[in-house]
Structure 1
């Protein structure tokens, strides 16, 4: 429940040109599908008790898993920068004379401070802010739906298969973007809790919360100009606009800390992987946090103009790189090994039975990326098969099928055997 989710919903009507009803249908469909992937990853947490990116070592090897951690780092930085832009836009609409550039700097500082204090503060603030945002969101949604000006777009909107499928993909990747760290939370649940409660709690919370905010965003997109969805939201809500923008702006500035914190944890995992002398000290973590925050701030300052188009491309690329990893992980966990892993081997520097580099997992991931290229559709690059398909982006579907199918066939052809079930003393605590 953040401003960036509103911006994501606004892409359907503001960039893809879908009528409101079709945009809502695509939002619902995409989130229902993508939420399954995120929730299935969360269901792994209570059983294994380890962070999601560490579990990638079982599919890609001790060092190979670091490649996925680096990809997750880029994702966290991208979302951190995107949240900075929309939070700053919110404050610029509320505070007279405030500039977006200054807002980006202030929001960076707020998120940096929270991230430095770490996981416990991030989690507690999330719990408190979600209650306030829930009330604000429902009020704003009702008011926006009841405002005739919301539908007086003045632009020609039309259903297109390409636009509809693109919005479905955006909804799906929004959910899958949580997959690299949902187990970082569910791993704290007792093992006896089981997979089912973790799955349904994650699925219902992610899908319901996201759909409601994206529907509000689809309304906002009808009247958005120059990529400033926050300004359009404030105009739609009248006197309640400043309250909504202030609430969303504060929440985004604070909650954005989870992105930079998780990104740093991914980096520390990689650092400890490549060097047996590296240690995740407080100084190392704080230093990395500051560097990444400044880097993301520069990204936000550079990409704030024409933000909706830039963000749409970012989400599309994110989908292309996350889909093969998610497919491989879920096939490995639920189909091949059925949750049967030797957790201690994931921490052995030689990789134990999982090795340093896993050629099957890495090859299937690389092929999953490659087969998507002819079907990719972004403003920077369009694959040769997009035109014959009427502009519909099906790259992620092709990548999903190829990665899952090849990994299943490769493991079975190589006589893959499930590892022994982890004993209680195998599970080791890690910084992330």
Structure 2
């Protein structure tokens, strides 16, 4: 039963010509993927769990991550304290992302399409936020990639960004297999480039061994640094199964989890540690900082090219997942066209961020695009657990799952309530909540949002499992 024609699926009448389409058939099949949010049939699955390491490693080797790492130093922390905060935050954010990624092989579906299980027709709320977030991430990463390309080629900034956006849009149009192949190659290319940058940092750039803040201010700065690191790795959670949906259902879930977790943690910790280490030379214009650090000639050019390629890798994934989010909204655009639209909309946002206080705008956009994600993760995990109890070990059948009664109001209320509960704990350049201010700038909003969503959503959802088993069984029989 196609998901486009079941309750909680995409609107009736849109047809499989929009949400279905051509699928890659094997590794290296780089023809345009027309397939949208319809689940990938088992007989069209291929690949192995090892792909999840490279697809989650290469896209994080960006100057956005390096720039984020410098924030710990600007808050007054010493290197050891800031690095500890980065490791803890990265790991906490990567765990749910790696976990959600295992759902792709079990269902053949992307993450936002799968969220219809929990949200029903109200999935439009997180789908809209995810679509906006993918465009915002295009800007966060394109800011540095476009600048590097402009400096490398002697172009104006706006033209470097335009060329970058065109390239990433083309990759997003090609789709799943093109993204995976690119990340495999770039794992080695970008790994070499960032190792080169780290080697040059050893020459004359010294670590900060003492904090300029003490007591509560130091603790608050450490928590804020950790939360910013968490926001990076958790930001991939709404994308997670998008890049595992073609893996066979028999793929080892533990290996998938391990490969994804390793790729996320190793890459994010590496680039943020690099930013902490080189904070004195990597200023707002981080592409310029790389050029000064590496010097001119071939080495400097290679460094700038790596920055641009890293942005291309990451933003291609943003545009791909953005296309699936748009279709989940019910937008009747073929997936390749939706990916191209996402890339085009990121261009003016990059120009806006570049026009004034880049540091403040960067941090504000970075935090705000992620504040909704903890509540989303909590809700979809609880719903998945509840459905697993009803299945009692059976394999996942999305047609059956979506045919069960869908309660759209409780998840939305929990989603909004979780965000509201987190507001007093937020710390951004635009707004500092009263609790965050009392805690010396410590931003605990992500943790609060997750716990609040659990508290608001889990009790009614699990009550439905206990009281609604009989009606769900009747629904399955009808299907």
Could you say which residue in structure 2 is the equivalent of 1:117? 174
Could you say which residue in structure 2 is the equivalent of 1:353? 404
Q: Is the 8 A contact 2:143 2:161 kept in 1?
A: yes
Say if 1:387 and 1:204 are closer, same or farther in 2 by CA, change over 3 A.
same
Using the TM superposition, give the Cα deviation of residue 336 of structure 1 relative to its aligned residue in structure 2, in angstroms. 6.1
In 1, Cα distance between equivalents of 2:444 and 2:313: 35
Matched, 1:34 2:34: no
In 1, Cα distance between equivalents of 2:223 and 2:207: 23
Instruction: Extract unaligned runs of 5+ from structure 1.
Output: 273-277, 427-432
Say if 1:81 and 1:217 are closer, same or farther in 2 by CA, change over 3 A.
same
Could you say which residue in structure 2 is the equivalent of 1:135? 192
Could you say which residue in structure 2 is the equivalent of 1:429? none
Q: Is the 8 A contact 1:59 1:332 kept in 2?
A: yes
Q: Matched residue pairs, number?
A: 403
Using the TM superposition, give the Cα deviation of residue 328 of structure 1 relative to its aligned residue in structure 2, in angstroms. 1.4
Could you say which residue in structure 2 is the equivalent of 1:88? 146
1:361-400 → structure 2 map (5 Å cutoff): 361-400=411-450
Could you say which residue in structure 1 is the equivalent of 2:343? 293
Range 176-185 or range 243-252, more displaced: 243-252
Normalised to the residue count of structure 2, the TM-score between the two structures is 0.77
Matched, 1:200 2:258: yes
Could you say which residue in structure 2 is the equivalent of 1:275? none
Matched, 1:321 2:372: yes
Could you say which residue in structure 2 is the equivalent of 1:147? 203
Q: Residue 104 of structure 1 is aligned with which of 161, 177, 180?
A: 161
Normalised to the residue count of structure 1, the TM-score between the two structures is 0.85
1:9-88 → structure 2 map (5 Å cutoff): 9-14=69-74, 16-61=75-120, 63-88=121-146
Could you say which residue in structure 1 is the equivalent of 2:3? none
Could you say which residue in structure 2 is the equivalent of 1:249? 308
Q: Is the 8 A contact 1:18 1:163 kept in 2?
A: yes
Q: Is the 8 A contact 1:87 1:107 kept in 2?
A: yes
Q: What per-residue deviation string (whole Å, max 9, x for no partner) do you get for residues 352-406 of structure 1?
A: 3243x52221111111111111211111112222222222111111111111122
Say if 1:152 and 1:64 are closer, same or farther in 2 by CA, change over 3 A.
closer
In 2, Cα distance between equivalents of 1:209 and 1:303: 25
Q: Secondary structure at the match of 1:372?
A: helix
In 1, Cα distance between equivalents of 2:107 and 2:346: 32
Q: Is the 8 A contact 2:287 2:307 kept in 1?
A: no
Matched, 1:343 2:401: no
Q: Is the 8 A contact 1:35 1:207 kept in 2?
A: yes
Say if 1:27 and 1:393 are closer, same or farther in 2 by CA, change over 3 A.
same
In 1, Cα distance between equivalents of 2:262 and 2:317: 21
Q: Secondary structure at the match of 1:409?
A: helix
Structure 1 vs Structure 2 CA RMSD? 2.7
Q: Is the 8 A contact 1:345 1:354 kept in 2?
A: no
Q: Is the 8 A contact 1:87 1:252 kept in 2?
A: yes
Q: Is the 8 A contact 1:40 1:330 kept in 2?
A: no
Could you say which residue in structure 2 is the equivalent of 1:267? 326
In 2, Cα distance between equivalents of 1:50 and 1:290: 21
Using the TM superposition, give the Cα deviation of residue 126 of structure 1 relative to its aligned residue in structure 2, in angstroms. 1.9
